[in-house]
Structure 1
Amino acid sequence: MQLVQDEAFNRLFHSCEREAFHLEVQDTYETPEESEPFRKFLQDEPDDYAWFQPWLDHVRDVTSRGVAVNRARVVTEPHTDYTRFAKAVARFNAEAGENVRYLPRYLIDPAELTVDDWWLFDDSLLAYTIFEPSGRWVGGAVTTDPQLVEYCRTVKERVWALATPLAEYSNQ
């Protein structure tokens, strides 16, 4: 595996031709760039979401080329505060062109999941999401190992088929 960071990680999206798929399996993330927006959310304070704009611009750029950006979140119910925050912000992901779905954790056997988050690009390149203990995103551990890619592709298909689209899940 090779660690890919920053702009090199973003280039994975630009070399992608069909789909960039992200699986999230954690109920809480503590990334420093989200700490203030998360605090505002918990305190019901206004947020201009400027901190999120670079990602939204990135999604718009990728999807404008006809590449699907899909995200599945496996979540515990009742939701953690962070899941409520991420779900509230997900409307911006959707407006930018990202297809976000939610799968309640109780609907899938843990043995049918991975314990790590990852991105799968065109079902051929896998990037495990790497975080420091502080919560700071480090990058992606990238591999094209056929066994790992196939396993994650199978997990992707299973989760995606069971997951509920954001618009429908939001009404639950």
Structure 2
Amino acid sequence: MDLVTAERRDELFSTFKREAFHLELKDEYRVSIEDGPYAKWLKGEPDDFEWFRPWLEQTRSLTAAGRTIRRVRVVTEPVTEYIRWEIELTPMNHEAGEEIRWLPRHHIPEGFEFPANGNDWWLFDSETLAVTHFRPDGRFEGAELITDPAVVGEAVRVRDQLWSLATPYDDYKH
């Protein structure tokens, strides 16, 4: 399996034409850019959100151009501190045009199988699947780019099913 860098995966944001969809399945992430802000939040310290601005600006630009960015976050309840932090950040995502829904893990149908071995992924235009692989310490290892129609088709099916099961941010009570 060939893995590409986060930068190479992120190039897909400049080339997708209609929709980018992200499936998040972990209750905590270890993302270098988030380490400091998350630690400050845990201590109750204020954040200027400069670290978050590039994503928000990119999202705002893409959605203003008519592209859709959606995300389903599958979470364990009660939610972790990290997920509480994400919940507090979500209004900024929404203001930038990203649609986020929440799906409590216990609402997933029994026997449900996730494609890509249960890893997180981005799906671009229902054509390219960028599967995230993490190191044992939870940090990003690389992304596997998949265009095989059978695998992508399964991701499309899962995207549509989870989106219909998930609760919109404004209605999610954790």
Instruction: Say whether the fold is shared (TM-score over 0.5).
Output: yes
CA deviation string 1:129-166 (max 9, x = no partner): 12333433344210101111011111101100011111
Establish whether residue 165 from structure 1 lines up as the match of residue 168 from structure 2: yes
The amino acid across from 1:82 in the alignment is Y
Instruction: Please list every run of 5 or more consecutive structure 1 residues that lacks an aligned counterpart in the other structure.
Output: none
Map of 1:113-124 to 2, 5 A cutoff? 113-114=113-114, 115-124=118-127
Helix, strand or coil at the partner of 1:112 = coil
Q: State the partner residue of 1:44.
A: 44
Runs of 4+ in structure 1 off by over 4 angstroms are none
- The equivalences for 1:71-110 within 5 A come to 71-109=71-109
State the shift of 1:11 in Å. Answer: 2.3
Q: Give the deviation of 1:83 after TM superposition.
A: 0.6
State the identity %. Answer: 44
Structure 2 CA distance for aligned equivalents of residues 82 and 167 of structure 1: 19
Match of 1:146 among 145, 149, 169: 149
Aligned mates of 1:45, 1:113 — CA distance in 2: 40
Cα distance in 2 for partners of 1:43, 1:113 equals 38
CA drift at 1:2: 4.5
For residue 19 of structure 1, what is the aligned residue in structure 2? 19
2:6/2:143 contact within 8 Å kept: no
Q: What is the identity, as a one-letter code, of the residue corresponding to 1:141?
A: E
TM-score (norm 2): 0.90
What TM-score do the two structures reach when normalised by structure 1? 0.91
Superposition CA RMSD, Å: 1.7
Q: Counterpart of 1:148 in structure 2: which amino acid? A: V
Aligned partners of 2:73, 2:15: CA distance in 1, in Å? 24
Residues of 1 paired with 2:142 and 2:69: CA distance? 18
Change (3 A) 1:78 1:108: same
Q: Is the 8 A contact 1:32 1:135 kept in 2?
A: no
Q: Distance in 1 between matches of 2:110 and 2:9?
A: 28
Give 3-state SS (helix, strand or coil) of 2:63's partner: helix
Q: For residues 79 and 6 of structure 1, what CA distance do their matches in structure 2 show?
A: 27
How far residue 110 of structure 1 moved from its aligned partner, in angstroms, is 5.9
Moved more, 90-99 or 125-134: 125-134
Give the corresponding residue for 1:53: 53
Query: How far apart, CA to CA, are the structure 2 residues paired with 1:64 and 1:5?
Result: 27
Larger displacement relative to structure 2 (99-108 or 127-136): 127-136
Q: Contact 1:25 / 1:116 at 8 angstroms: preserved in 2?
A: yes
Q: Structure 2 vs 1, CA of residues 29 and 6 (structure 1 numbering), >3 Å: closer, same or farther?
A: closer
